[in-house]
Amino acid sequence: MDRNLALEIVKEQLTEHRYEHTLGVAQTSIELAERYDANVKKAELAAIFHDYAKFRPKEEMKQIIIEQQMPQDLLEHGTELWHAPVGAYLVENEVGITDQNVLQAIRFHTSGHEHMTILDKVVFLADYIEPGRKFPGVEEVRELARKDINKAIVLCLQNTMIFLLKKRVTIYPDTLNTYNTLLKQMKKGGS
């Protein structure tokens, strides 16, 4: 899909602030994809559509999760997670993007998963470190992203889990499993 058409489609779904975030995620995804040898076009496309469902009504997202038999444990955790898997479904069914690699990167951009591809990692990390993000710890993750994508994601997940723990909310199992898997892989690799 042409970049301009993709941006036109997604802009209708987002607030101006979220659209600016999306542009930042797209540019950061391109940079990370080039650095870590991921498919640049797929990374950009997944980044453009990563928040496609962000502003859909919660009840609509809940119904899609139920009707499409997505993991039901999503309903037991924060609604902030819902837009990722619902977005992948809607991007496929409303926009017509069928590339499973792109859809998977959208589906897991908030939680991660145990068997992340380099494309998944690029979009996940780009969403966290895009230039418009301003919060404690983001600069350290940005710095690590220039050197080691796995270390950067581990720190990103660590920061996220600490934030959730301080808020006394549950941590989605895929997030914890992603952290554990990457940490084990890094230890095996000597990192």
**Does residue 72 fall inside a structural domain?**
yes
Residue 79 belongs to domain spanning? 3-135
pLDDT tens per residue across span 62-115 = 999 999 999 999 999 989 999 999 999 999 999 999 999 999 999 999 999 999
Share of the chain above pLDDT 90, in %: 97
Q: What average pLDDT does this structure show over 10-35?
A: 98
Q: Are 148 and 185 in contact (CB under 8 A)?
A: no
pLDDT tens per residue across span 161-186 = 999 999 999 999 999 999 999 999 99
**Does residue 161 fall inside a structural domain?**
no
Nearest CA to 170 among 88, 56, 80, 58? 80
pLDDT band at 190; cut points 50, 70, 90: low
CA angle 188, 189, 191 (to 5 degrees): 110
Whether pLDDT at 191 is above 80 = no
pLDDT band at 46; cut points 50, 70, 90: very high
**Does residue 190 fall inside a structural domain?**
no
Look up the CATH number of the domain holding residue 74.
Answer: 1.10.3210.10
Q: Are 173 and 164 in contact (CB under 8 A)?
A: no
Looking at residue 189, what is its pLDDT? 79
**Does residue 191 fall inside a structural domain?**
no
**Does residue 186 fall inside a structural domain?**
no
Q: Which residues contact 187 (CB under 8 A, 6 or more apart)?
A: none
**Does residue 150 fall inside a structural domain?**
no
**Does residue 44 fall inside a structural domain?**
yes
Looking at residue 167, what is its pLDDT? 95
How far is 127 from 132, CA to CA, in rounded Å? 10
**Does residue 20 fall inside a structural domain?**
yes
Looking at residue 127, what is its pLDDT? 98
Radius of gyration (Cα) for the chain, nearest Å?
16
Structural domains of the chain, count = 1
Looking at residue 163, what is its pLDDT? 94
